[in-house]
Structure 1
Amino acid sequence: MKTAEILKSDFNLARDKAVGCICGLAIGDSFGDASRMQSNRENYGITTDFNKGAAWSTDDTEFALLTAKTLIECEGKLTTQHVIDAWLKDVAVQDEFKRGGASEVAAAQNLLRGIMPPESGKFSTFHLSDGSAMRIAPVGIICAGNIALAAEIAKIDAEISHYSDGISGAQAVAAAVAVAMVDGSIDEIIDAAISVMPKDSWLYANMIHALKIVEDANGSIIDAWMPLHDALKASTWATTAEAIPAAFACLKMMGDDFKKGVILAGNFARDADTIGAVVGAILGAKYGVGAIPPHWVEKTRYPSGTCLNFTKGVDLVDIGEKLAKLIK
């Protein structure tokens, strides 16, 4: 593996990986959301590319941009107060969220009631959602190679809207991105994610189960596909213990190529935008923006502001470059 020191001394390399991570997240988000649309299922069955229509972003990309913006403004020295201030400025001010995640909306409502972290995340029906994991990749970028720091900062960001597995899922994705940033193997990336999961958690149990299904299928996507869906399915599809193990199972089966990995994850169904976003972020960090089809980058480069108004037209490449400068 490389080290954070190498990334800090080689900005072009750091930029390639940071931009790859942010753009990969947005691509996986938009790709997964499109692939589960009924029209795409009727027309293509399996979606393998973006069609001619306009791309759009969902809460996955736009809340990741909130996390990124907060990290950039505090120069990577994140505190709970930084997160609170950011959410009050850019989330709680909105009257509606066309594509907002339930956990994030509940957190904003709690803040307006004067309920602060960690209670703002804990006192929520949706505290086990994958809404924290979908937005946390920027933390992994700045914590390249440092699993413990990635988990620590991820907790600060996540606990405004989540609790228990909802926080652990964010820590797992941040740890995975941190290892991907320094060229860890797919197994090392997965091990990093598992290392920060509480061993008595639903998330950990499902993660181990999902990887066992893939192992028993000898990595065969066809043989693992339906058993994975049957084993992981929760009562609602945006649950951390379902979506995050699904994402890592996709990485295990198809983590050697960005495009193939995102196509697999984006077609997983259920919360495919988050599964795609997590896989895209990790593979983008590992292989860099140079490994991503250029037309995919341009297709999703400027978010639509579908969820958070401030994100409309933000340049993801610029955000990635700024995060690259914060690598610790």
Structure 2
Amino acid sequence: MLTRKELVADRKLVRDKAVGALIGLAIGDSFGDAARMQANRESYGFITDFNAGASWSTDDTEFALLTAKTLIASKGILTVDSVVKAWFEDVVIQDEYKRGGASEIAAANNLRKGLRPPQSGKFNTFHMSDGTAMRIPPVGIVCAGDPKRAASMAEIDASISHSEDGIWGAQAVAAAVSVAMVDGTFEEIFDAAMAPIPTDSWLYYNMKQAFAIIEQAHGNIMDCWMPLHDQLRASVWATTAEAIPASFGCLALSHEDFRSGLVLAGNFARDADTIGAVAGAILGAKFGLSQIPSRWVEKVRHPSGTCLQFTKGLDICAIGEQLGDLIR
């Protein structure tokens, strides 16, 4: 594993990994969204590429771009005030959110009522959703090599819309991306993800269960695939304690390169866009933009603004470069 100092000294590597993480998130979001579509399941069963008619994007990528924009504006140091300001500028101002996550919509409504973090996240029916985990990788990028700082900053961002598992899931993902940015091994990445999660939480329990299933099956995908689905399934779609262990479970099963890991995560059932987005960000941080299929990069590079209007037409690679510039 590199030290942060060693990473910072190699500006080409910094940009490769920062852009890789952000575009990897977008690819995983779009790929997982396409993979779970019934038409694709009927046509292919298990997809290995974007089909000609695949479209994107979802709230996962666009809220991640909100986090990125906030980080860039605050020069890499998030505060409660900077997060609230960003939400008022780009979320609360909208009247509707096509394909928006329930947790984020509820948080925007709480902000309109005058609530502020942490109450805006606590007083939210969907406070344990995976809505923070999918938007938090930009924090891990900026905090490259410092997982404790990544977890601390993730809590600041997540508290506006989430509480408990919703925050811990964001901390786990941010810490994992932080370690992947300095080329940590996947064992080190998984250890970093587990560190901020309380041991008496539902998320911790399911993470341990996922890793145990894989260990008992000696990493055999055929023996793990259905037990992982059965063990992790929650009563409500997009629950942190389901989606985040699923994402890390997929990474534990396949991480030889970006494409193989991404394809497995994107084909997981239920909230596959978030599972893919989290895996894509970690894999992108680990392997860098140079190891991601260029056709996939161009497929998702410019978001549609489907959920957050300000994101329409942005260049994700350029934003990734700006995040990389904050790593000093």
**TM class, shorter-length:** over 0.9
1:232-288 deviations in Å (ceiling 9; x for gaps): 000112000000000000010001211011110000010000000000000000000
After TM superposition, give the deviation of residue 8 of structure 1 in Å: 1.7
Structure 2 partner of 1:125: 125
1:195-224 deviations in Å (ceiling 9; x for gaps): 111111000000000000011111011100
Structure 1 partner of 2:146: 146
After TM superposition, give the deviation of residue 327 of structure 1 in Å: 1.4
Structure 1 partner of 2:62: 62
Structure 1 partner of 2:30: 30
Structure 1 partner of 2:114: 114
After superposition, where does 1:110-259 map in structure 2 within 5 Å? 110-259=110-259
Structure 2 partner of 1:283: 283
Distance 1:244 1:54 in 2: 24
Distance 1:249 1:25 in 2: 17
Contact persistence 1:3–1:144 (CA under 8 A): no
Distance 1:3 1:16 in 2: 16
Distance 1:55 1:313 in 2: 14
Q: Is it true that 1:89 corresponds to 2:89 in the alignment?
A: yes
Paired residues, number:
328
Q: Which one-letter code corresponds to 2:188 in the other structure? A: E
1:182-205 deviations in Å (ceiling 9; x for gaps): 000111101100011111100000
Contact persistence 2:133–2:278 (CA under 8 A): yes
After TM superposition, give the deviation of residue 99 of structure 1 in Å: 0.8
Structure 2 partner of 1:298: 298
Per mean C-alpha deviation after superposition, the further-off stretch among 51-60 and 300-309 is 51-60
1:6-28 deviations in Å (ceiling 9; x for gaps): 22221110000000000000000
Structure 2 partner of 1:53: 53
After TM superposition, give the deviation of residue 54 of structure 1 in Å: 5.0
Structure 2 partner of 1:307: 307
Q: Is it true that 1:43 corresponds to 2:43 in the alignment?
A: yes
Provide TM-score, normalisation by structure 1.
0.99
After TM superposition, give the deviation of residue 55 of structure 1 in Å: 3.1
Distance 2:237 2:264 in 1: 17
Contact persistence 2:34–2:54 (CA under 8 A): no
User: What is the DSSP-based 3-state SS (H/G/I as helix, E as strand, rest coil) of the residue aligned with 1:188?
Assistant: helix
Per mean C-alpha deviation after superposition, the further-off stretch among 54-63 and 208-217 is 54-63
Aligned-pair identity in percent equals 67
Structure 2 partner of 1:317: 317
Structure 1 stretches (4+) deviating beyond 3 angstroms? none
Q: Which one-letter code corresponds to 2:264 in the other structure? A: L
Structure 2 partner of 1:273: 273
Contact persistence 2:259–2:292 (CA under 8 A): yes
Contact persistence 1:57–1:304 (CA under 8 A): yes
Contact persistence 1:128–1:162 (CA under 8 A): yes
Superposed CA RMSD in Å reads: 0.7
Distance 2:78 2:124 in 1: 23
After superposition, where does 1:9-20 map in structure 2 within 5 Å? 9-20=9-20
Structure 2 unaligned blocks of 5 or more: none
Distance 2:216 2:287 in 1: 27
Contact persistence 1:266–1:276 (CA under 8 A): yes
Distance 1:66 1:296 in 2: 22
Contact persistence 1:64–1:136 (CA under 8 A): yes
Structure 1 partner of 2:78: 78
User: What is the DSSP-based 3-state SS (H/G/I as helix, E as strand, rest coil) of the residue aligned with 2:134?
Assistant: helix
Per mean C-alpha deviation after superposition, the further-off stretch among 52-61 and 125-134 is 52-61
After TM superposition, give the deviation of residue 53 of structure 1 in Å: 2.2
Q: Which one-letter code corresponds to 2:132 in the other structure? A: S
1:18-65 deviations in Å (ceiling 9; x for gaps): 000000000000000000001101111111101112531101000000
Structure 2 partner of 1:103: 103
Distance 2:251 2:244 in 1: 11
